[in-house]
A and B are shown apart, each in its own frame.
Chain A
Amino acid sequence: MDLSYLPQIALSGIGIGCIYGLIGIGFCVIYNASGIVNFAQGAFVMLGGMITHTMLHRYGVPMIASAAIAIAAVSLAGIVIERVVVRPLWNRNATMFVMILATLAAQIVIERSTLIVAGDQPRTLPAFTDLPPMMLGGLAVSYQFLWIVAASLATVAALALFFKTTLVGKAMRACAINREAAALQGIPVSRMLALSFALSAALGAIAGILITPTQYTAFNVGVPFAINGFIAAIVGGFGRPLGAFVGGIMLGLAQAIAIVVFGAGFKNVAALSVLLLFLFVRPSGIFGSAK
C-alpha cells in the first residue's frame, strides 16, 4: 500500500466529486419541484458529452459554441421528457413509483437510441486548455481539473443566485415548499415542473461536458453517473442542492481513497458503502438531523 499517491488521487477525487455534485443537484432540483426521483438524469450527462463531441468533430463548431449548443439541446430534451413522459402520468394522478419507473424507462430509451444513432464507439473531447499540468509541490494539477472545479463552483453559485434573487427562482422554491399554496397564488406549477427538468438537464449536460476530456463518453456512461449523483444527493440530504454538491465531493474523495488503499476494483464498493452508511446512520444527510 503506497500512500504517497494519496494527495494526487484525492485531487482527482475532488474533480470527479464536483461532477457527482452537479448531477446530485440535478436530482434535487426535480425532486423539490415534483417529488420525483428522475433516473433519466444520467442520460443528460451522456448526451451533454455526445452532442458536444458531434458538434465539434462532425460539424466543426468551435468548442465553446458546441458546449452551448449541447447544453441548450439537453435542456430541451429535459422539457421533452417532462412533457412526454412525466406530465401525462402526473395528470392521471399516477403514483410516485410509476413516475420514477417511467423516468428509468426514458433513460433506457435515450441510451439505446444513442447506440443506434451514434454507435458504441467511445469518444472523448480535447482538454479545454491544452497545456501540461502545473506542478504545485509534488502535486500535478491539470488544467482540466481547474476547469471542472471552477465551472462547477460557478454553476452552483449561479444556481444559488437564481433561486435566491429571481422571482421565477423563488416561485420554484415556493412550489417545493407547498405546491398547492403556490398554485393558489397563481404560480403556474406545471410550468415550474418543466423548468426544473430543463435546469436539471442543463446541469447534467454541463457535468458531462466537463468530465469527458478526462475520461471518455459513450452511449452507456449515463447510469454509473446517475448512481453516483444519486448517492451524492442522499449524502447531502435529498432535496438540498448545496448538500448534494458537498456530498458529491465527499463521495469522489471516498472513491479515490478506496482505490489507493484497497485497489481500483473497490471504487463502486466504496460508493455503495457510503450510500448504505448514510441510509442506515444518517438518512437525512450530513446537514440533516441524525435519526
Chain B
Amino acid sequence: MTEAGSAATRVLDVAGLSARYGHIEALHPTDVRVEDRELVAILGPNGAGKSTLMRAIMGLVENAGTVRFRGRPLPRRAPEACAADGVVLVPEGRGIFGPMSVAENLELGAYLSGSKAEFERRQERVFSLFPRLKERLSQVAGSLSGGEQQMLAIGRALMSDPKILLLDEPSLGLAPRVVEEILGSLSALNREGLPILLVEQKAPLALKIAQRAYLLSVGRVIAEIDPRKVSSYDEIAHYYLS
C-alpha cells in the first residue's frame, strides 16, 4: 500500500520543494506525497522545518520545486488559488478571526461557495463533527477556549469543502484530553475519505491515527515510517540519534 499509489490515486505530490527566509534555506529540497484517502503525519522536533514545509506547499513563503495536486501543478506563490483548488491549510496558531463571531468565521470559510444549500450542507457537516460550535455560533471567536478555537479553525477550513486538509500542529497548547478529541475528529474525517497531511510534534498521538509518517530533522526528510511497524517509540528516537 505504501509503495503503491499510481499517479491516479496520488492526491498531493511534493517534489524537490525547498523554502528560504532571506538567505537561510529553512527547507532543503523535500519530497512528500499523500495518496488518496491517506492520513500522513509529518513528525519532528521544534525547528525541523515542519511548518516551513506546510507554508511552502501553500505558497506562503518563497519556495522552489513543484507541488502537484491530483496531477495538476499548484501555483507557487498564491495561497488563495491553492485554497480555491481544494488544498486548505489550518495554520499554526489556528488563525481564527478573533473579533468576529463563530458564525462569521464559518461563513468566511465558505467564501468561495456559491449556493445557500451547499453552505447549509457544509455547516451541518461541521456541526455534526463539532456540536459545540453550533452552541457557540453567536459568540465572539476570540472568547472561545483553546480547544474550541481549534475546532473552529478546522470547521472553518471544512466550510471551504477541501479536497485535502493540511494541519499545522493542531494540538499546540491544548490539554491532553482535548488533543485526543481533536485528533479523533481528524481520524473520523479521514475515514470518510478526506486525505489529510498533519504536522505534529507529539509523535505518539499522531502515529495512532496516521497511515504513514515522515520524520523531519533540520529541514530534511530523514525517514519515512509505517506506524504499524513501529513497535516502540525508541525506534523513532533512534532516527534522531543516529
Contacts and interface: CB of A to CB of B under 8 A. Distances in A.
A189 interface: yes
B96 A181 contact: yes
B97 interface: yes
B83 A170 contact: no
A174 interface: yes
A159 interface: no
B80 A180 contact: no
A188 B104 contact: no
B108 interface: yes
Chain A: interface secondary structure?
Answer: helix
A184 interface: yes
B154 interface: no
A178 interface: yes
A2 B150 CA distance: 63
Given A180-B79, A180-B91, A181-B97, A186 B112 contact: yes
Q: How large is the interface on B (under 10, 10 to 19, 20 to 34, 35 or more residues)?
A: 20 to 34
B100 A170 contact: yes
A121 interface: no
A180 B97 CA distance: 11
B83 A185 contact: yes
Given A173-B97, A178-B95, A178-B97, A183 B108 contact: no
A180 B104 CA distance: 17
Interface of A: 167, 170-171, 173-174, 177-178, 180-189
Closest 8 CB pairs of A and B: A181-B95, A186-B83, A183-B79, A186-B112, A177-B97, A186-B84, A183-B80, A174-B97
Given A167-B107, A178-B95, A181-B91, 16 more contacts: A170-B107, A171-B111, A173-B99, A173-B100, A177-B100, A181-B95, A182-B97, A183-B60, A183-B83, A184-B60, A184-B88, A184-B95, A185-B111, A186-B80, A186-B83, A186-B88
